[in-house]
Amino acid sequence: MTYKILITDDLSPQGLAYLEQAGDVDFDIMIGLTTEDLIKQIAGYDALIVRSSVQVNEDVLAAASRLRVVGRAGVGVDNIDVPAASMRGIIVMNTPGANTIATAEHTMTLLLALCRHVPQAYTRLKQGHWDRKNFMGIQLYRKIIGIIGMGRIGAAVATRCQAFGMNVITYDPFLSDEAARELKVKSVTLAELYAQADFIALHAALTPKTKKMIDAKAIAQMKDGVRLINTARGALVDEAALVTGLQSGKISGAALDVFTEEPLSPQSPLLGMDNVIVTPHLAASTIEAQRDVGTQIVLQVLDALRDVDFRNAINMPFSDASLLRTM
């Protein structure tokens, strides 16, 4: 049997090489598809590999008469209607570990740049001004960072913050006391985190409960002068409330890699604020992370199509294909 796979985003050469070497696979790459385009194309495919540029909604899945697997090259699956896929018996899988280090390192990059005004000082010096007095920074040492979401990335950030001598507190309702002790972090309530943290780093998944969790009410509970870092999902933050907090000084600075709408509009008020650092969703953009994401999702999809293994499937409890075949 020959399996047909549709790829809608850039994938690493290493990942494509595995597809080219597979004797039982035909694949097509169609980048820039709209939802309507995807609906028209999807019917003839057994698997779909995406990143975040397309929405795999119920209409797409309804048109996917042969589809067995949706592979997300990355972590977040908020662009995939997972319940609708489950109802149709379609496996949804991601690559949760492939970009952990890259994202954690980018979080630290933004954290340090925020403390020391690196982009602003760079721009000023490039303009010919030797300006030291306007860029007084702060140290990380002995500051409290509150990490919301202590999964793989949150834990990697915690370890790196501890290396800088920071005290790490966390809010994660799924984190056990034993895991918190192993990570040497202190679990607190969300209200306690807001009240205590000098820095807040967002590493939570986007769900209906976490959408716009950083809103005006949350900001009002935060420590005066708090600094916010978001490399997770833009929709975790109410951007209008964030702008108000930044303008008032309640939030002294923000470093953002993700936004509610991407690409970020040139008219966004965030771009005109001197206490905001922005990057265009670069957290996972390293050579190593993209190599690993591409190869992992291809190998996972191939194994799932061949009924060999279903690792990192987020909507089915099976890790052993033989168990699935007996049911």
Evaluate if residue 90 carries a pLDDT over 70: yes
- CATH topology for 3-98+287-325 is Rossmann fold (3.40.50)
Evaluate if residue 320 carries a pLDDT over 70: no
pLDDT of residue 64: 97
- CATH topology for 100-278 is Rossmann fold (3.40.50)
CA angle 79, 82, 87 (to 5 degrees): 145
Residues 38 and 58: beta-carbon distance below 8 Å: no
Evaluate if residue 72 carries a pLDDT over 50: yes
Locate 24 and state its tokens: 């039982």
**Phi and psi, residue 191, nearest 5°:** -65, -40
pLDDT of residue 325: 47
Half-sphere exposure of 190 (CA within 13 A, CB side): 13
- By three-state DSSP, how is residue 4 classified? strand
Alpha carbon of residue 102 to chain centroid: 11
**Could you tell me where in the chain the CATH 3.40.50.720 domains are found?**
3-98+287-325, 100-278
Q: What tens digit of pLDDT does each residue of 163-219 get?
A: 999 999 999 999 999 999 999 999 999 999 999 999 999 999 999 999 999 999 999
Whose CA is closest to 242, among 101, 87, 252? 252
Q: What tens digit of pLDDT does each residue of 91-142 get?
A: 999 999 999 999 999 999 999 999 999 999 999 999 999 999 999 999 999 9
Evaluate if residue 326 carries a pLDDT over 80: no
Residues 8 and 50: beta-carbon distance below 8 Å: yes
Q: What tens digit of pLDDT does each residue of 243-285 get?
A: 999 999 999 999 999 999 999 999 999 999 999 999 999 999 9
Q: What percentage of the chain has pLDDT greater than the value 90? A: 95
Locate 168 and state its tokens: 């790490």
Q: What CA–CA distance (Å, rounded) separates 57 from 30?
A: 18
Q: How does residue 52 score in pLDDT terms, banded at 50, 70 and 90?
A: confident
pLDDT of residue 249: 97
Q: What tens digit of pLDDT does each residue of 150-161 get?
A: 999 999 999 999
Helix and strand numbers (H, E) in the chain are 13, 12
Q: How does residue 316 score in pLDDT terms, banded at 50, 70 and 90?
A: confident
Q: In a 10 Å sphere around its CB, with 0-12 CB exposed, 13-18 middle and 19+ buried, how is residue 126 labelled?
A: exposed
Q: What CA–CA distance (Å, rounded) separates 125 from 56?
A: 45
- For tokens 């969300």, the residue is 190
Mean pLDDT, the chain, integer: 95
Q: What CA–CA distance (Å, rounded) separates 204 from 113?
A: 22
Task: List active site positions.
Answer: 233, 262, 281
